[in-house]
Amino acid sequence: MEYIYNENKKGAPVFVLLHGTGGTETDLLPLASALNHEYNVLSIRGNVKENGMNRYFRRLGEGNYDWEDLEFRGKELYEFIAKKAQEYDFKLEDVIFVGFSNGSNIAIQLMLQQEDKFKKAMLFAPLYPTDLERKHDFSDVKVLLSLGKEDPIVPESESERVIKLFEDRNADVTTVWVNGHTLPQEALIVGKEWLNQ
């Protein structure tokens, strides 16, 4: 997998940056710097191609996931992050996922698959269109969800489903509603406040 690792301060938390469809490992670097320039950064390019665009897992259509591929890609990405944690000497519990759209969705998958490993996430424009029977315990998880009103890709009912996914598992959930399928300034401001709590 293509990636960038920037160590800004030894022992600081590590932003794991996960871009949206068609993005690359450089897309979210300015966001990470704006959120906290001292945090270390592991930014990973999705290694699945959809019409030449980078993604983290296959889909069969808009909002129609290939769940088998998502399961496989989640494990593959977890193994990659765990390997980089050893290589660059950071702890998985110090990881903060920062995802946009497709990146947020694979982050949710990782948190569900590895429920004892990842404790913090900032998820912008997430979509996880299924109801899960299995209950995970996220009582020590903190998540910021930035959700879109009139988002052309994620209906509000699906945004509410993502909120419920985390709330049902006792996560500490902070939400911010923005316009559309975007990552605007107001979400960044709330994100900085959330990080500093």
Domains of the chain by residue range: 3-196
The residues that bridge with 54 in the sheet, in sequence order, are 49
- Enter the pTM of the model: 0.97
94 given a catalytic annotation = no
According to the model, what pLDDT value does residue 131 have?
84
Dihedral-angle region of residue 92 (phi above 0 means left; psi in -120 to 50 means alpha; beta otherwise)? alpha
According to the model, what pLDDT value does residue 62 have?
83
Active-site residue among 19, 27, 101, 104? 101
Q: What is the pLDDT along the chain (197 residues), one digit of tens a residue?
A: 999 999 999 999 999 999 999 999 999 999 999 999 999 999 999 999 999 999 999 999 888 999 999 999 999 999 999 999 999 999 999 999 999 999 999 999 999 999 899 999 999 999 999 988 767 899 999 999 999 999 999 999 999 999 999 999 999 999 999 999 999 999 999 999 999 98
116 given a catalytic annotation = no
Q: How many CB atoms lie within 10 A of CB 78?
A: 18
According to the model, what pLDDT value does residue 134 have?
67
According to the model, what pLDDT value does residue 61 have?
82
Active-site residue among 33, 69, 172, 181? 181
19 given a catalytic annotation = no
Provide CATH code, domain 3-196. Answer: 3.40.50.1820
Active-site residue among 43, 136, 146, 151? 151
